[in-house]
């Protein structure tokens, strides 16, 4: 039986990385067809567009990556939009996934949706144990409801809808917007412009917050592992163990660019200071997996960014 694997958000950061990874993944066979959706294929907030997509492709599996996303400041300024758009997208995908008999849906959440006040390290069982940080509550609650709704479908209909929880993702094909981008792509773009224009490399905040980062191709490999080999229905965190401060990330980026005129604007918000997660469950089930070091990932990402600067999302 041919497996039709529909990847929503297929032209974004993670979808593009999956496209690259499947070329060399020995688990991929001739009976697996991947369909990478873009916005040109339809608006996933609109029910009729989603119906048309399911009618056209008749997927057997879905990797659900599509979302209304952004960095700290986009979340802070658009909490209502982040909630309503993501709720529409997620409900449409799960509803029609069930209606059209999809065998498995792997939906992407984020570690940023965990409770603000929690003990560390955070594990999968803590997802709903308190309020998220107010800076991104719209996005967080929509993603949490994706997890809740997936479990309700599983309980009521025996479906296999599972949630993955990656930490901060970075890599080629990202959104490098100075305003709406996540921390690493926006810092890369800022440093590039600062060096080009001989200006200061300004980093918002004190640089104190700690984060865990996963290279997009690592995440792509793990998503394929979840799709094909992870048989549980409970959510799973996908993250390396190590965490690093934003200050150290910014300094690493400036070092790669060979431009050290850097200042930290402490008048800007830091957001959540710490949200350390545990990857104990992942490593117990997939102990041989090796993560790309942050330095190597940044070198690859910055190289790609420079080579594709005119056409990157920014």
Catalytic residue numbers read 139
Alpha-carbon distance of 198 to 293, in angstroms, equals 29
CA end-to-end span of the chain, whole Å?
41
Tell me the C-alpha distance between 87 and 94, whole Å: 11
With 0-12 / 13-18 / 19 or more C-beta atoms within 10 angstroms meaning exposed / middle / buried, residue 231 is exposed
DSSP E strands in the chain: the ranges are: 3-8, 32-36, 61-64, 104-108, 161-166, 168-170, 201-204, 210-211, 213-215, 236-238, 244-245, 262-265
Q: What are phi and psi of 268, to 5 degrees?
A: -95, 155
Burial of residue 71 (CB within 10 Å: 0-12, 13-18, 19+) is buried
Residue 106 CB neighbour total at 10 angstroms: 24
- The partner residues of 269 in beta bridges, in order of sequence, read none
DSSP code at position 44 = T
Q: Locate 102 and state its tokens.
A: 């999809």
Task: Dig out the tokens for 224 from the structure.
Answer: 């394929």
Q: Which two tokens stand for residue 65?
A: 């990556």
Beta strands 244-245; 210-211: pairing state: antiparallel
Q: For residue 287, what are the contacts with CB-CB under 8 A and spacing of at least 6?
A: none
Q: Compute the half-sphere exposure of residue 140: CA atoms within 13 Å on the CB side of its CA.
A: 20
């Amino acid at each position: 039986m041919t497996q039709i694997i529909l990847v929503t958000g297929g032209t974004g950061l993670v979808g593009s990385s999956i496209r690259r990874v499947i070329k060399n993944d020995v688990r991929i066979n001739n009976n697996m067809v991947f369909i990478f959706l873009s916005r040109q294929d339809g608006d996933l907030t609109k029910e009729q567009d989603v119906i048309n997509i399911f009618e056209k492709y008749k997927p057997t599996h879905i990797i659900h990556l599509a979302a209304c996303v952004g960095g700290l400041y986009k979340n802070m300024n658009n909490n209502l939009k982040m909630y309503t758009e993501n709720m529409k997208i997620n409900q449409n995908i799960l509803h029609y996934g069930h209606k059209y008999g999809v065998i498995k849906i792997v939906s992407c959440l984020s570690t940023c949706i965990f409770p603000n006040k929690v003990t560390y390290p955070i594990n999968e069982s803590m997802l709903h144990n308190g309020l998220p940080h107010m800076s991104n509550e719209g996005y967080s609650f929509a993603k949490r409801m994706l997890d809740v709704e997936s479990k309700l479908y599983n309980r009521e209909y025996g479906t296999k809808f599972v949630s993955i929880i990656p930490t901060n993702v970075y890599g080629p094909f990202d959104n490098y917007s100075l305003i709406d981008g996540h921390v690493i792509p926006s810092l890369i773009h800022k440093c590039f412009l600062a060096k080009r224009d001989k200006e200061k490399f300004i980093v918002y905040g004190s640089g104190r917050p700690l984060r865990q980062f996963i290279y997009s191709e690592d995440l792509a490999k793990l998503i394929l592992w979840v799709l094909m080999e992870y048989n549980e229905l409970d959510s799973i965190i996908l993250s390396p163990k190590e965490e690093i401060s934003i200050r150290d990330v910014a300094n690493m980026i400036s070092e790669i660019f060979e431009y050290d005129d850097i200042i930290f604007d402490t008048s800007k918000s830091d957001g959540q200071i710490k949200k350390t997660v545990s990857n104990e469950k992942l490593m117990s089930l997939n102990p041989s997996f090796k993560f790309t070091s942050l330095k190597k990932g940044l070198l690859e990402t910055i190289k790609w960014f420079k080579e594709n600067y005119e056409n990157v999302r920014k």
